Structure 1
Amino acid sequence: MPPKSATGPFATFLIIGPTCFFLGILFANFPYDYHVLWATPPIDPLNPDIDPRSPYFAIQETHLKFLYASPPLIGRILHLAIGTGLLGFMLKLYRPSDANLLFDGASLVLYMCGITVYIANIVRGLRTAAAGAYDGPPSSNGVDVAGGAESGGDYIGREDSLRVLAASHTILALVLVGVLVLQAGQWYAQRKEAEEIAEMDKVQEERRRAKGAAGKEGAGTTGGSGSGGSAVGQGKKKQ
């Protein structure tokens, strides 16, 4: 296993890269989620009885169906990116230090929360939108079964389902931003620690040099005193 100093930056890259990739995907979905969840479009004066969000629900639903019907390669690339992030956490948490346990451990918890939101809400929402099974599972002839509560199923309506999916995108984005913040915090903490260690080493080196200079000066003074004493002794002998 390579030393931590060699694997640390590369493992961090394996974490930050997929995280930014996921944030880019969520940013691409934001135009579809904005009017569904965050803002209410102005009411059309020609059709005041129509919900102004209805066209945006239809646009979002079409977009989700298109995503769900994408080629299998798209899903494989997404899952490969998820696995790459997990590999980065495994490399950083192998024989962890205190900083790794604090920052990388918390980042891994957020990352796993993001995976849970993806599996529980987003994948399920995509399947629901693609099948059109908002009020119940589609019947064999393609007609949705209405009245999910009466049939004993746990289903919500079309608009609420699309809002839940948009909210899941927001939650996932916040979780991923938290991962980036923790990784940036770890980099800052390690940088400050390295600066403090360098400063301490510099102070110790200056003290060591000062002690060495003082020792040399003391040795020179002692040697000079000894030479003077011997010269005086020789003069007395001659007399």
Structure 2
Amino acid sequence: MDPTKGSIFKTYDKPKGYSASNSFATFMIIGPTCFFLGMLFSSFPYDYPLLWTSVETPAAYYDQLETHLKFLHASPPIIPRILHIAVSVGFCGFFIKLFKPSEANLLFDGASLVLYVVGVIVYITNIVKGLRIVTLGVYGVPEGDTEIVVGREDSLRVLAASNTILALVLIGVLVLQAGQWYAERKDADEAAKFEKEQEGKKEAKSQKSGGHVTRSASKKKQ
């Protein structure tokens, strides 16, 4: 039985140069994702005392964290522009891979794109909003028509938790891309193994038919 039949990676004839463009698009996704993870890792020392320790955080630490976040939010315009360009590069990578998609692209890249969009939403709705609140210093204001009041400490904890959630989402993108690479590599190995077996069978059959013709010709000569 042909193992390539029914494979999610053989649903259509891939155009010439597909593998090269697909690899480059994968790099366009992994590069920005790792870039964002590096940024979040640099914030981990600030987030760790708020989320991962049972020791009471001193009030002076919140003042220090506020100063850091205000400085981060007041960075020159080129900094957020570079960040937004990196986000756009990631989206371009997904669009390239999902152009004329196979089932594999829809499975792995589609799920990766969903996580990537979730990460962007978390960044806009939680992180950017949290940085603005910290910069303005407006805490304890009810949100909308609700009576929920979030103080300074809770706001900083929510911001730290948002960083953690975003990191987990981005790790999910990398896991899915790695899973796609492994599945494609496994499928290619099985296809190569099948082709090698078929070539071996053809050679054995040709040798057998060649030997039969030789014996027939020798009998005619006798």
TM-score by length of 2: 0.89
Partners of 1:2 and 1:129 lie apart in 2 by 52
Q: CA-to-partner distance for each residue in 1:132-154, whole Å, 9 max, x for gaps?
A: 01123xxxxxxxxxxx48x9775
* Aligned residue in 2 for 1:235: none
**Alignment partner of 1:208 is 2:213:** no
Deviation (angstroms), 1:6: 2.0
Percent of matched pairs sharing the same residue: 56
Partner of residue 49 from structure 2, selected from 35, 57, 61: 35
Q: Distance in 2 between matches of 1:122 and 1:2?
A: 42
- Cα distance in 1 for partners of 2:82, 2:149 equals 31
Q: Distance in 2 between matches of 1:2 and 1:13?
A: 19
Match of residue 29, structure 2, among 6, 9, 15: 15
For 1:87, the equivalent position in structure 2 comes to 92
What residue identity is the alignment partner of 1:13? F
Is the aligned partner of 1:196 residue 2:210? no
Distance 1:39 1:159 in 2: 15
Picking from 75, 97, 102, the partner of 2:102 is 97
In structure 2, distance between residues paired with 1:113 and 1:12: 19
Partner residue in 1 for 2:178: 184
Kept after mapping to 2: 8 A contact 1:135/1:158 = yes
CA RMSD of aligned residues (A): 1.7
- Give the Cα separation in 2 of the matches to 1:2 and 1:59: 56
Task: Say if 2:70 is the partner of 1:65.
Answer: yes
Amino acid at match of 2:221: S
Moved over 6 A (4+): none
- Contact 2:49–2:57 under 8 Å retained in 1: no
Return 5+ residue gaps in structure 1 as ranges.
42-50, 137-147, 229-239
Query: Alignment partner of 2:178: what SS?
Result: helix
Cα pair distance change 1:130/1:59, threshold 3 Å: same
Q: How does 1:113-132 map to 2 (within 5 A)?
A: 113-132=118-137
CA distance in 2, matches of 1:25, 1:216: 68
Contact 1:36 / 1:53 at 8 angstroms: preserved in 2?
no
* Offset at residue 156 of structure 1 (A): 1.2
1:54 Cα deviation from its structure 2 partner:
1.7
| 2:183 pairs with 1:169 | no
Tell me, yes or no, if the aligned pair for 1:8 and 1:92 is still in contact at 8 Å.
yes
Deviations 1:196-224 (A, max 9, x none): 00000000000010011011101101111
- Amino acid paired to 1:91: I
**Whole-Å separation in 2 of the counterparts to 1:2 and 1:25:** 37
